[in-house]
Chains A and B, each alone.
Chain A
Amino acid sequence: MVSDTPAIPKAGRGTVRSVFRRRQNTPYLFISPFYILFVTFFFGPTLFALFLSFQRWNSVGDPEFMGLGNYERLLTDRIFLQALENTLIYSAASLLIVCPLALLLALALNSKLLWFKTFWRSVYFAPVVTSTVAISLTFLTLYNREFGLLNALLAAVGLEPVDWLGNRDTVKIAIIGVIVWRWTGLTSIYFLAGLQTIPQDLYEAASIDGANVWDRFWNVTIPQLRPVMLFVSVIVTIGSLQIFDEPQVLTGGGPANASISIVQYLHSRGIGDLRYGYASAIGTVLFVLIFILSLVQLGIFRSRDEEA
């Protein structure tokens, strides 16, 4: 049934009934696969995760209710707190390094002054489509203390070699390096799309008013990009809070949990140790964290809009 036409056709009684039945059922039939799969594999398990987070259950026997016990334990679990801290550091680095860098990259890739535009776009977007495991394996050898390229570059300028992944102080920097390398291109795609929707006459009007490049950037580009900036900051935050692949392959979370992420800890507690209740509580905390941070960002952007 096309949405613009009235629901009841003006035909004879018999046809009305058959058409009616068909029109009633087909849209539901068409959209049903999603709802069946969603309820079975996503919504059901989400509720079950919430239920499990209040239980003690190690896969054998029956779950045993323990109220907020799992959540209380999390507050004093030093590995969890370490994982939380690490993950928030990854998130902050992504927001503070990746986002501005991606905006600059998008401006450059959008510039009429750039030569070989298509070529450079392909280069910068290549990390986006590459397997994170392949990337992490490659950086594992790049960062290697004995034969890695990074230490060779340091040696070339007379610096001492660094044990990037084996040292508590440098391991997070190393992982942030991979995040920045991989996410800047992806994030710039969003900015690039946003830049291309800015009406050209806004710039022309600003130029007529005597605005220079810098004025146009602050007074046209940035305000026009605000919705995209909100979208990007939410996407980057959510993505970085869920980080797993890079620290898992590069360090396994080490040394001494210095690089472990929340999802890694969830995975090792739930799948490794089969502590389903505890791991579900970690998952719930992650969900709440993602939810709150998204709302905060929404709030920041909304209040700025009201000021303007």
Chain B
Amino acid sequence: MATLKLVSLFGRISLNLVVAVGGIITALPFLWMLSSSFKTTGEIFRFPPSLIPDTIALDNYAQLFTGYPFAAWYGNSLNIALLVTVSVLFFCSLAGFGFAKFRFAGKRSLFLVLLGSTMIPFQIILIPLFIFVSRLGWTNNHISLVVPFMAPAIGIFLMRQFITSIPNELIEAARVDGASDFRIYWQLIIPLVVPGLATLAIITFLGTWNNFLWPLTVLRREDILTLPVGMALMLTGVQAGSEPPFGPAMAASVLVSFPIIVVFVFVQRYYIAGLTVGAVKS
């Protein structure tokens, strides 16, 4: 019995050790990012590097706001992500309500179209969508980052899952009281699916905030770029021969990722619930 306990204790310690080592490897790039953002240019180019900076220099952060339109990029990203999120919440919950609680001709086929649409990878329409958006005069305009993405199928699917579980009797009762369908949606359904909306909001905000390919394709003017595009430009847009601004790029990376990570720690379970809706159900 005593040896068995010893063996299981040994197993427990090794498990924790392995998880800790993996965790440190996972955390290391974040620590490196944070530490590099506080280093002076001289210290960044020193070898061997150290993980703890000599001093907490804020030069990189200052340079970010004086040398680049960083505040504008931040504002652009925030605006676009919020706009897309609010639209997605509205349109997806409305359509989710339509699919969950109404009966209508062609519902099955329409739902199949909805599911099938998730099969189209965005990359295949990159070129034609770019051509279309150019014809509309929407390049260099944030509208091209918002309008096409206001009602994604996956969000409708998610909201339908949540709304289906609301008892029909509640809706019947509201209808008997003379409430219109939209009023039922707004005053009855919405308050009951707040967890679902939270999940959808987090997924949408993150996806939009971190999106790179599409904004890179449609935005050219420097002051209207989103954060990822602007940040990539900081290093890739450097003329040959001059030293790339690694310090400011690390400061930008900190400002784009750390607020998100801090918020994420508190809302993790909603995000995970959203990701796994498809995995477990299928």
Contacts and interface: CB of A to CB of B under 8 A. Distances in A.
A242 B123 contact: yes
Interface stretch (A66-74, A136-144, A199-207): A136-144
A30 B150 contact: no
B261 to A, nearest CB: 5
Interface in A107-150: 108-109, 111, 113-115, 120-127, 129-142, 146-149
Pick the 9 closest A-B CB pairs, nearest first. A30-B98, A193-B276, A27-B102, A45-B128, A134-B253, A41-B148, A133-B228, A283-B124, A48-B128
B268 A46 contact: no
Interface string B19-36: 110110111111011001
Interface residues of B, number: 101
A279 B124 CA distance: 9
Interface in B108-142: 110, 113-114, 117, 119-132
Contacts of B201: none
A216 B101 CA distance: 42
Interface of A: 1-5, 7, 22-24, 26-28, 30-31, 33-35, 37-38, 40-46, 48-49, 52, 59, 105, 108-109, 111, 113-115, 120-127, 129-142, 146-149, 151-152, 155-156, 181, 185-186, 189-190, 192-194, 197, 227-228, 231-232, 238, 242, 244-245, 248-249, 252, 263, 266-267, 270-271, 276, 279-280, 283-284, 286-287, 290-291
28 contacts: A1-B104, A2-B175, A27-B98, A27-B104, A30-B181, A34-B91, A41-B147, A42-B148, A113-B11, A115-B16, A122-B264, A126-B261, A127-B29, A129-B206, A132-B212, A133-B229, A138-B250, A147-B44, A147-B46, A156-B48, A227-B282, A232-B279, A245-B213, A267-B126, A271-B126, A276-B128, A287-B120, A290-B121
B280 interface: yes
Nearest to A245: B212
Majority secondary structure, B binding face: helix
Contact of B276 (A31, A48, A190, A279): A190
A155 B47 CA distance: 10
A266 B127 contact: yes
Contacts of A105: 22
B18 interface: yes
A129 B261 contact: yes
A56 B136 CA distance: 22
Contacts of B25: 181
Nearest to A133: B228
Nearest to B44: A147
Contacts of B123: 242, 244, 263, 266, 283, 286
A43 B235 CA distance: 36
A178 to B, nearest CB: 9
A41 B95 contact: no
B209 A131 contact: yes
Contacts of B15: 108, 111, 113-114
B113 A270 contact: no
Contacts of B126: 266-267, 270-271, 283
B68 interface: no
Contacts of A34: 91, 95, 114, 151, 153, 156
